[in-house]
Each structure stands twice: as structure tokens, then as C-alpha cells.
């Protein structure tokens, strides 16, 4: 299992668009992906689950992946978050 903690750079956090972009990108990987925020966790491939985490701008999330392509998945998803989801 690989995990990385990253800060949400966009002001609005995980609203519909960023959650959709994250889940879409996560779905391209075979590994299991989990996103954690404080004491909550969600399947990283679920838009609704990501939105229900209540992640606000500036918050830190932990991206965890387990499987054959976990390194690529965590690197790509951390880069997506680091780029502020293009906002």
C-alpha cells in the first residue's frame, strides 16, 4: 500500500467538478484507491463519496492506493490535487 498526504489548493474544496475529475482519473487505475479526510474515508472512484467527505479548500487529504499500479495512481492523483484541479 502506498499513501500520500496532499493539501487541497482550490478554494472550494471537493465540490462536484473536482470530485468528478478525481474519480474519473482514479477510475483509470486497477488498484483500490481510498481518500481520507480527518476521520472519514471514501472510495476514490466515487464522486458522491468524495463530495460527502466535506473537504474544504486548504484541507489535507490522504490518498491511499493498493494494487499493481498504486505508484502511478498516487502520483497522478496527487499531481491533480496539487494543480488545483485546473481551477
Active site residues: 15
Please state whether beta strands 2-7 and 32-37 pair in parallel, antiparallel, or not at all (unpaired). Answer: unpaired
Cβ atoms within 10 A of the Cβ of 65, count?
25
Q: What are phi and psi of 9, to 5 degrees?
A: -90, -25
Distance (Å, whole) CA 74 – CA 72: 6
Amino acid at each position: 500500500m502506498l499513501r500520500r498526504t496532499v493539501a487541497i489548493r482550490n478554494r472550494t474544496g471537493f465540490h462536484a467538478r473536482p470530485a468528478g475529475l478525481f474519480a474519473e482519473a482514479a477510475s483509470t487505475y486497477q488498484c483500490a484507491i481510498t481518500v481520507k479526510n480527518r476521520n472519514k474515508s471514501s472510495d476514490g472512484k466515487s464522486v458522491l463519496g468524495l463530495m460527502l467527505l466535506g473537504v474544504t479548500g486548504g484541507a489535507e487529504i490522504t490518498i491511499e492506493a493498493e494494487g499493481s499500479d498504486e505508484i502511478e495512481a498516487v502520483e497522478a492523483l496527487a499531481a491533480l490535487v496539487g494543480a488545483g484541479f485546473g481551477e
